[in-house]
Amino acid sequence: MKRIIRILPHITIILSLMFITFWILDIYNPLMNFIGSDISKVLLLIFCIAALITSILAVALDRKFNK
């Protein structure tokens, strides 16, 4: 569990960098459909879940620390 919690922020970082890359590539060549493809949608879902859990943990830790 602890290992998952430690890995999640890195997953979020990696996926966010990937989507920034896709976004830039999409500006130059939208016909390649980097952002709209089925694989990108799955990655986006994983990204959102990772970001959600990471953010919840961050809020929880912040509240615990401030107690």
- Quick check: 23 binds other proteins (CB under 8 A)? no
**Total residues found in the chain within this entry:** 67
- Quick check: 30 binds other proteins (CB under 8 A)? yes
- Quick check: 51 binds other proteins (CB under 8 A)? no
| CA trace torsion 41, 24, 5, 59 (10° rounding) | -100
- Quick check: 53 binds other proteins (CB under 8 A)? no
Q: Which of 26, 51, 53, 54 binds other proteins (CB under 8 A)?
A: 26
What is Dmax (Cα atoms) for the chain?
A: 52
- Quick check: 21 binds other proteins (CB under 8 A)? yes
